[in-house]
Amino acid sequence: MLRHKVRDFKMHLAVSLDDLVPADHFYRRLDAALDLSFVRELVKSRYASTMGRPSIDPVVFFKLHLIMFFEGIRSERQLMATVHLNLAHRWYIGYDLDEPVPDHSSLSKIRDRYGVEVFQQFFEAIVERCIQAGLVWGQELYFDGTKGQANAALTAMVPRWYREAQEHLTALFPPEETAKSLSVFQKLMDKYDGSRLNQRRSSTYQRTTDQKVSLVDPDATPMKRFTGDKAVLGYHTHYIVDGGRARIILAALVTPASVMDNTPMLDLVRWVRFRWQLMPQVAVGDTRYGTIPNLVGLEQDGLRAYLPLPDLTERSTYYSSDRFTYLSEKDVYLCPQGAELTLRVQRKREQDLCYRAKAQVCQLCPVKAACTPSKGGRSIFRSVFQPYIERVKAYATTPAYQKAMRKRQVWVEPLFGEVKQWHQGRRFRLRGLEKANMEGLLKATGQNIKRLLKARRGFKRTSPAGGVILQMPPFFAIFLG
């Protein structure tokens, strides 16, 4: 007989939320494997001890953001709508069936109250647990960066003087604030805020950000992710990843897109060594990191700089400097024809030495047309840090260097691919450098938690979204497969 199902719900149903969530559900395993009660101590100073309404539990706040990360949810409004309907989510944050979940606007207010320092401390706490679990090797450090689009339009940029005028008016009536000391991470973030670090560059060179700024997101700067792409506003995420099999992220920093990969390298590696008390032997990066300040700084700090140096020989059709032999005992260069190039001048600004052949010798040379167009004789410029450069070049011939270069190709970039493909990492949701760092730190923390759970056997081939409204997303396959 044909039956019609009628929607008829009981007003009072004797059922426990604990009975509705399967015993082997992902969020049960996550809750058992990762105790987040430590976050209450991190935020204790942000609340009054005796005044005000009771707040949302800080543990609930961070659990909500972990749900957001694991489910690939972009907006906080969508997050709270999902949590309201999903039994497993309710169980994980400790809210019963008849208990109203927090409003999405509360998350924004709490985030502003905490500031980026709390998110950095949360990231560090998870890294500490990874170290305790034996997931950090500490002998090799791998560097890489990726760009993500900002939540602002390039076409909305206005002349910088317009914003400076607004800031001036705001500064006339400053709010009363208590002075507070900045953490090391906040100092790093402020140092790499997109301002020019190299003041020696020609004053005639002007970046777009020197003239224009976005009122929606003043810290985002124009970028092109690939050659031929249309320019957009964006940020640059920098990772330092441990060389151990777990690939734990030891440092994460978000800067404006105008800050290149190599710029914060030394500060980050020194922070990692000091914060985690590591003694790495090797630092590995691609050609973008192979600048003289980086390789000199790493070598002076006792690390082998496995950084490919850019090949400049193809920039000119004339003889490259590799054809000239340096004689250290005489401090001269020998050209391919046997003529000497002697030291003529030291350029302090460029930090190099100029060696030049005699003009009359070059004029009579049979290969002058292939060597130099100069009437004053061929010149060779030698960096004052040339011994470090030669040492780093020598690494490239060793099996250890070649192995590290092969390993680098599959070490950090897959982490960026993972966060972009499955965790809404292609475009930043929040605006402003501080909030972009909050978002970047949460994503890096989530990636470390995935590896921590796998080590604790908390990961099985099931989805965290095995609740009542969401289908099982496939993103764990890329991690477990």
Tell me the pLDDT tens digit for each residue of 129-178: 999 999 999 999 999 999 999 999 988 787 776 667 766 667 776 665 55
Residue reference for tokens 């004052």:
384
Q: CA separation (Å) from 475 to 50, 445, 461?
A: 44, 17, 10
Whether pLDDT at 315 is above 50: yes
For the segment 233-254, the average pLDDT, to the nearest whole number, is 97
Closest of 366, 312, 317 to residue 338, by C-alpha: 366
3-state SS of 167-183 is: HHHHHCCCCCCCCCCCC
Query: What is the rounded CA–CA span in Å between residue 395 and residue 39?
Result: 44
Whether pLDDT at 180 is above 70: no
% of residues, the chain, pLDDT over 90 = 71
Question: Lowest-pLDDT range, 49-53, 317-321, 406-410?
Answer: 49-53
Query: What is the rounded CA–CA span in Å between residue 336 and residue 323?
Result: 6
For the segment 49-75, the average pLDDT, to the nearest whole number, is 91
Collapsing DSSP to helix, strand or coil, 213 comes out as strand
Q: At what angle do helices 26-33 and 433-455 cross, to 10 degrees?
A: 90
Report CA torsion sign: 227, 228, 233, 234.
negative
Beta-strand relationship, 352-356 and 140-149: unpaired
Tokens in use for 297? Answer: 């700084």
Where does the pLDDT of residue 264 fall: very low under 50, low under 70, confident under 90, or very high at 90 and above?
Answer: very high
For position 316, what pLDDT does the model report? 79
Question: Domain ranges in the chain?
Answer: 17-115+461-480, 118-165+182-197+208-309+394-445, 313-384
Given a contact cutoff of 8 angstroms between Cβ atoms, the answer to whether 235 and 157 are in contact is no
Q: CA separation (Å) from 261 to 114, 219, 233, 288, 438?
A: 28, 17, 17, 7, 19
Report CA torsion sign: 32, 35, 36, 40.
positive
Q: At what angle do helices 58-71 and 76-85 cross, to 10 degrees?
A: 100
Whether pLDDT at 464 is above 60: no
For 433-450, write each residue's pLDDT tens digit.
Answer: 999 999 999 999 999 999
Residue reference for tokens 């989805």:
463
Where does the pLDDT of residue 179 fall: very low under 50, low under 70, confident under 90, or very high at 90 and above?
Answer: low
What distance lies between CA 140 and its chain's CA centroid?
Answer: 17
Q: At what angle do helices 116-132 and 265-276 cross, to 10 degrees?
A: 60
Q: Residues 6 or more apart from 121 whose CB is under 8 A from it?
A: 42
% of residues, the chain, pLDDT over 70 = 85
For position 12, what pLDDT does the model report? 60
Q: CA separation (Å) from 203 to 102, 164, 300, 477?
A: 52, 20, 32, 51
Whether pLDDT at 327 is above 90: yes
Whether pLDDT at 479 is above 50: no
Query: What is the rounded CA–CA span in Å between residue 60 and residue 64?
Result: 6
Given a contact cutoff of 8 angstroms between Cβ atoms, the answer to whether 272 and 250 are in contact is yes
Given a contact cutoff of 8 angstroms between Cβ atoms, the answer to whether 283 and 262 are in contact is no
For position 457, what pLDDT does the model report? 73
Query: What is the rounded CA–CA span in Å between residue 313 and residue 453?
Result: 49
